Amino acid sequence: MPVREERSFSLREMRVIGDDGQRKIVGYAAVFDQLSVELWGFYEKIQPGAFTKTIQEADVRGLWNHDSNYVLGRTKSGTLTLREDPIGLGIEILPPDTQWARDLMVTIDRGDVDQMSFAFQVMRDHWETVDDKLVRTLEEVALYDVSPVTFPAYPQTTVQVREDLRTFGVPVAELPEFVRSLERIEKGMATRDDLRMLHAITDRVQSEVTAAPAQGSHPADEDAEGRVARARHALRRRVLELQLLKKGPK
């Protein structure tokens, strides 16, 4: 399976226009050349033109909260229109005449929902260091969907990221190649070095999970905050284990 990612933007430009007969959701799902918050030890921005090919070729959906059960529009049917302009990826959605869609437009009107997100696969990128920051520039992406969202998918904090990278034996300086290796594995284009990296990390994860305390074996004097922190860290290990094992050679 390809690597599916999501990014969110908080934008005043998302709004509902038109009368009750034909109301539309308009705004921007992405903004060009805007540096993101820190993502797994690096920053990210979108290059103008990154969406040109996918707009021409892909059948993109407009969803509510990235939920495929709530389809707001679709490019193939003409109920979702995508465009690139100097600002970013502009969207126009003609929602269905359903109660849940009408309710969504009310929440947008009220300002309760004011963020857009897009789900995508990276097709081409480049990495550089700018002002001591590791920056990934998305040059071309393939879109899956665009979506008004209640909550954006916030990245982990820098402290958590660096802890996880150390856990899995990935130095922060090697993160670009680590990301590229995982993407090559997903696309079935893995090199021997990619597979060696995968097996080394998988072995490390398996040994850590095996050594983790059994569920329910917390010391009686451990406070609630400590139990929550340990549980969250164990969960991250297990999630990454499953992701890495699925990416292994068949």
Task: Give the domain ranges of the chain.
Answer: 5-149, 158-246
Q: Looking at residue 145, what is its pLDDT?
A: 93
Q: Looking at residue 184, what is its pLDDT?
A: 72
Question: Count H helices, E strands: the chain?
Answer: 6, 10
Work out whether the CA dihedral 174, 180, 183, 185 comes out positive or negative.
Answer: negative
- Of 50, 104, 114, the residue nearest 82 (C-alpha): 50
Beta bridge partners of 145: 61, 119
Q: Looking at residue 37, what is its pLDDT?
A: 78
On the CB side of 96, CA atoms within 13 Å amount to: 14
Question: Do residues 14 and 25 touch, judged by C-beta distance below 8 A?
Answer: yes
Q: What is the pLDDT along the chain (250 residues), one digit of tens a residue?
A: 455 666 666 554 566 677 666 788 988 888 899 888 777 678 889 999 999 999 999 999 999 999 999 999 999 999 999 999 999 999 999 999 999 999 999 998 888 988 888 888 889 999 888 888 889 899 999 999 999 998 876 544 455 555 666 666 666 667 677 777 766 766 667 788 877 777 776 666 556 555 555 444 444 444 555 544 554 455 455 445 445 444 444 4
Q: pTM for the full model?
A: 0.63
d(CA 143, CA 31): 15
Token representation of residue 89: 């990826």
Q: Please report which helix (H) or strand (E) contains residue 222, including its range.
A: none
Give the orientation angle of helix 192-211 with respect to helix 175-186, to 10 degrees: 100
d(CA 23, CA 225): 47
